[in-house]
Structure 1
Amino acid sequence: MIAFNTLVVNELVADIKGESPDTASEEAAKEVEIEIEEEWESLQTLRKIRPSKELTAKLGKQGQTEINLKDDLPERDRTDLYKTYLLFCLTGEVTNIPFGAQITTKKDDSEFVLLNQLGGILGLTPKETVEVHRGLAEQAFRQQAEVILADGQLTKARIEQLNEVQKQVGLPPNMLRK
């Protein structure tokens, strides 16, 4: 979907507007900047979807965002698609091999730039994008907290361990108090 948007739809939109495709992709690159609430700036996945200049040069053209799926798919479906690709970006590709073993291939940060483009294609607002990233970080924290607190004992060492997990997943420091 991302490749189709970049290679085909970009060209069509540029033709309709009467622009050269290069000019259209430069304008789309300016629109890529995502506005993030300060409180959620610590989420690593949100920082990764903002492309650096060298990564943008490596990937080539940016996709257009004028034509999107906002009116064609319900919000739930759009956020589920985005979340699925975010999970892929975080975990990499999993290959099952004989005897029940799995091999995971880690992806590089260029996948996160493609994730940002997918958000544009799906017509997600910056607020919706932040909500997906925040929800995933909270889910990861909750799962690890359940393991740490499995016996129900809350000690000082476990509180420190929970604080460390909170930093690892990128949740703001005040989240434990809520």
Structure 2
Amino acid sequence: IEEIKEKMKTVKHKILVLSGKGGVGKSTFSAHLAHGLAEDENTQVRPQEPLGGAHSINKEKMSTPCGFLFLGMIKQFLRDVDWGEVDYLIVDTPPGTSDEHLSVVQYLAAAHIDGAVIITTPQEVSLQDVRKEINFCRKVKLPIIGVVENMSGFICPKCKVRARGANCDKGQSFLMDAPDSPATLAYRSIIQ
């Protein structure tokens, strides 16, 4: 923990992006948050997904040795990577309230975590999982910066009609591709 604290001295703000379940757009949100913060030419941002694609792994079938491997990877990312002088480190965590989350919080506690942004969708199953995520944050004394309801609707840029469901799964940035869209305005509001 002392090594991580020392390594993190060059990172001013550390923000975790959490969700209670997968498929709520947490990684997309993390990328847009980092992109939006980086638009300020005086700001240095490093997005980081510590589990390197582990989102697709079925957590229920993950063996204990594999779990220890992931915990080791998180520790290594925080301890061994030279982040340089950055203003924000956005950590995109896997869904749920697993040991990985607890480890990230414990490892970063000495280096001061600014807080967590929790991502949800309007479906009740997602909201139930977010309640668990909020309880987790409270238990580990992790400040909650905010809760973002994602995928609550899509407004067609041509006809301005609101439709339910997700859009933009093509890896594009609303901030660049649709600077005046309602989604971009919502992201900018959240980033502020």
TM-score by length of 2: 0.28
Structure with more of its chain in helix, by fraction: 1
Bigger share in strand: 2
Larger C-alpha radius of gyration, 1 or 2? 1
Q: Whose relative contact order is higher, 1 or 2, with alpha carbons under 8 Å and at least 6 apart?
A: 2
